[in-house]
Structure 1
């Protein structure tokens, strides 16, 4: 059996759990929108075309913010195409994904859908093929009360009140050569700074996200962030991070250690931002918007072989996620929590079908993928303060990311209720892990709940949820939890994601 010891104390915290850390992402890509969240004519569709089966599952997941409308899509998007009467909206070529966008679901529909879900909109502007003036026009359309060209256009389209969108991305992955309108760091930095300043003249209360590196592996990583922030520091509030992970053949150990890479990525971006702060003698701190992250099998074919160029809503990167993937996603959520003092926005990409937490079929059912369960649990159970976790115990060496703990952990404490919540992953494929946790400082009295997600009987680490068996993998009760004299002992199954809550004394 593997072993780990965790030391926690209510006096040693990272900071409050950020409300926006548990976001998602809706891009006009593949079937995320069309036959994902929107499918008029489906048996479960309401009179607006929203799939109510998907809507209910999204409510259960509870994303606190949803980034829209891209993604690579936004760098060629003309926002004016997506507003006004549907019959008058043009069909356009989407160069990013070589498909056709019908614009039958647009800005007004997304705003209404987001309000129905109960989430905040994180809007991205096109700094690929467009720029400052178009971003300002869009902001005027969404946020100005009335009496001007674009605010009156919104009113004429049937939306009297401003949408009041406060969170804005200044482009998407502009460091990437694949991006329509790809720019150098200097080119992007000037455009982002100019656009951000102009947008703040229209609405001083907005928050702005500058594009950081598309991954830690980008050749310009570090220098990109430094150049962009030197120009934009006083204009923006956040710099973005994006990261996707997959299992390479024969190297599951590195895949399970993906959070080690995410930890390093975050810490390096924080260090770069703080160095720019010091050089410029700035007072505020730039935080991180980790607004694209997930498991994505990039090495696999991205498209359905039957799809043709310029199809509408083709099947694109519809990965089916396993037990292993769910455990990794749990560790990535732990990484974000561990850095919640600086990572204050997070968006797991994407919400439906396209590397989705949810899957749906045209004219068919919808279901939760394995990776939806860790997201839903952390979203609803991480409350109050993020605790510093001092961990010791068994470790292993991964080929790609080096040294990794067998047990990956994060923890929160809600002073109002006294509840302590542990989020635990056992990375060992074969052996259980015994975890000792000191809880004396919390007045822990009893175990409130304990669940685990792992391969059950007649399953293995590759088992997935699918249309034939949509609930094959989900959290189950975890029996091996004891609390004696302020010390908890938890035995984690091999390759598992577990959540344990303890009742403690309220502050």
Structure 2
């Protein structure tokens, strides 16, 4: 039986773990908001209609940052529709998903929800059907204390203290022909620069994310990023990445090795951003925001124009299996491996829509398989990311050729001494794993987390990774 061998050393550090890597995404799409996080009359709902059972699961999941309100939805959205007395809010046709939007849940409800969930809000502005003025006014509404029309309007709506939102997306997937108001790279880059300039005039402390390509398969990928950054480099802090992995798009082995694709995608965007930095002779380095990622059975998706208009269409409520969960865990490993440049991650979406959490209207809420690797990684990844030296047996894939069957990353928290190894076996044969801890001579394997539970590890026990499996190995220093 082929063996995997992993060596850990604090000298092989990547970067500190950024808590924003463990973000999620709430869009007005399907049942993510309505009967997801918000359901007045539900047995667990509070006076504002926020589902308590979902809040408990969100806290357990360990989400750090939540992007809102889209997604495709934002490119036709008027943020003013979702504030003020609910009885005065208009019903609109959402052009993105061809759904009726009641606006019963809007900005201030979302901000209250983020406070209860203990997460940081990440707001997106509409650069599809609107532009600079609406974006700046939204920052004013959210972040200024008082004394201006928009800030005083928020106070009139019963919110005295500013929301103080720091992280802002300049539109969404503006290269996509499916997007309401899609633009060329030059058009979008210029608009993003103008909007960012105005938004920073309102609040200079905010951080801005420019839209990268909608996915790495777009025909304009990389040239889009380069052009947008040439136009908006001085105004933005991040460039976004979106990518979903479909279990039915390629052969099964290629799907199990999806993290190989994500590794290359991240590396290509970093190289493109650094090319623009050198071309413009800037010192600032653009960071990356992977603010949409997940496993998605996208080949089963029905396009909006092929559906009837509904108020709560049940969109892409995928059911996940253990292989999907292993892939999600491996994608998190890839994200941590790039923590020196990848600073934000948002798994799309949080509830019901390709989500780790599912709900029944009026009924229960439950965890999907992909919940568990995310929750364990969000809880256990602390301190500094370490890049292990790893040798492993190879596995064949249809798209990537031969790749290692085992993939891993580690984190080390100097304060507590905790050392955690996140590892997957993406092959179809069991693989024994040996750990070389010469740089951590006092550490011993104490606990072993898998998709099915957590176990204590006795000294000297052999560790065998079952086929298609995800693991978190917790090592602690022995007492002196």
Using structure 2 for the length normalisation, give the TM-score. 0.97
Alignment partners' CA distance in 1, 2:302 and 2:37 = 21
For 1:432 and 1:229, the matched residues in 2 are separated by: 45
Task: Judge which range, 42-51 or 63-72, deviates more.
Answer: 42-51
Alignment check: 8 A CA contact 1:418 1:505 kept: no
Residue in structure 2 matched with residue 465 of structure 1 by the alignment:
none
CA shift for structure 1 position 393: 1.9
Q: How does 1:232-271 map to 2 (within 5 A)?
A: 232-248=232-248, 251-271=251-271
> Corresponding residue for 1:475?
453
CA distance in 1: counterparts of 2:397 and 2:281, whole angstroms: 40
**C-alpha separation in 2, matches of 1:147 and 1:26:** 31
1:494 equivalent to 2:472? Answer: no
Q: For the Cα contact (< 8 Å) 2:356–2:371, is it kept in 1? A: yes
Asked if the contact 1:114–1:120 (Cα under 8 Å) also holds between the matched residues in 2, the reply is yes
Match of 1:457 in 2: none
Counterpart in 2 of 1:327?
326
The alignment partner of 1:450 has SS state of: strand
CA contact (8 A) 2:447 2:454 kept: no
Alpha-carbon distance in structure 2 between the residues aligned to 1:345 and 1:280: 24
Contact 2:247-2:296 at 8 Å conserved across structures: no
* Per-residue deviation, 1:397: 2.5
- Give SS of 2:121's match: strand
Alpha-carbon offset, residue 47 of structure 1 = 1.2
Aligned length: 480
Task: Name which of structure 1's ranges 200-209 and 488-497 shifts more when overlaid on structure 2.
Answer: 488-497
* Equivalence map 1:312-461=2 (5 Å): 312-429=311-428, 431-453=429-451
- Displacement after TM superposition at 1:308 (Å): 5.8
Q: TM-score, normalised by structure 1?
A: 0.92
1:284-309 deviations in whole A, cap 9, x for unaligned?
Answer: 110000000000001114489xx962
Native 8 Å contact 1:444 1:502 kept in 2: no
Shift of 1:493: 1.2
Aligned position for 1:188: 188
- The answer to whether the 8 A contact 1:82-1:107 is kept is yes
Structure 1 equivalent of residue 63 of structure 2? 63
**Cα distance in 1 for residues equivalent to 2:239 and 2:15:** 19
Shift in CA distance, 250/97, structure 1 to aligned 2, threshold 3 Å: closer
Residues 254-313 of structure 1: CA distance to partner in whole angstroms, max 9, x if unpaired? Answer: 000100000000000000001111111111110000000000001114489xx9622112
Farther-moved stretch of structure 1 (438-447 vs 284-293)? 438-447
Alignment of 1:148-227 (within 5 A): 148-227=148-227
Point out the more displaced range, 497-506 or 122-131: 497-506
Question: Is the Cα contact below 8 Å between 2:249 and 2:299 reproduced in 1?
Answer: no
What is the rounded CA distance, in whole Å, between the counterparts of 1:77 and 1:182 in structure 2? 14
Residue 117 of structure 2: aligned partner: 117
Query: 2: distance between equivalents of 1:208 and 1:444?
Result: 43
For residue 38 of structure 2, give the secondary structure of its aligned residue in structure 1: coil
In 1: Cα distance, 2:356 partner to 2:289 partner: 19
**Structure 2: tracts of 5 or more residues without a match:** none
Please give the residue correspondences for 1:291-302 in structure 2 after superposition, counting only pairs within 5 Å: 291-302=291-302
Distance 1:489 1:189, change over 3 A: farther
Alpha-carbon shift at residue 408 of structure 1 (Å): 1.1
CA distance in 2, matches of 1:114, 1:184: 34
1:160-191 deviations in whole A, cap 9, x for unaligned? Answer: 11110010000000011000000000000000
CA distance in 1, matches of 2:149, 2:401: 57
Query: Any idea what SS the aligned residue of 1:403 has?
Result: strand
Deviations along 1:193-243, whole A, 9 cap, x unmatched? 010011111100000000001111110000000000111111100000000
CA distance in structure 2 between the partners assigned to 1:482 and 1:248 by the alignment: 41
Distance 2:193 2:392 in 1: 47
CA 1:388–1:320 in 2, change beyond 3 Å: closer, same or farther? Answer: same
Cα deviation, residue 445, structure 1:
3.4
> Is the 8 Å Cα contact of residues 482 and 489 (structure 1) preserved in structure 2?
no
Q: 1:76 to 1:476 in 2, by over 3 A?
A: same
CA distance in 2, matches of 1:153, 1:203: 17
Distance, in Å, in 1 between the alignment partners of 2:479 and 2:277 is 38
- Aligned partners of 1:30, 1:478: CA distance in 2, in Å? 41
Alignment match, 1:136: 136
Point out the more displaced range, 439-448 or 204-213: 439-448
* Secondary structure of 2:93 counterpart: strand
Partner Cα separation in structure 2 for residue 128 and residue 226 of structure 1: 21
* Contact 1:70–1:172 (Cα < 8 Å) also in 2: yes
- Contact 2:222–2:269 (Cα < 8 Å) also in 1: yes
**What secondary structure sits across from 1:158 in the alignment?**
coil
Change (3 A) 1:257 1:114: same
Instruction: Kindly state the Cα deviation for residue 250 of structure 1 after the two structures are TM-superposed.
Output: 7.3
Q: Is the 8 A contact 2:37 2:51 kept in 1?
A: yes
Residue 37 to residue 336, structure 1, CA distance change in 2 (3 Å)? same
CA gap of 1:189–1:506, structure 2 versus 1, over 3 A, is: farther
Over the aligned positions, Cα root-mean-square deviation in angstroms equals 1.8
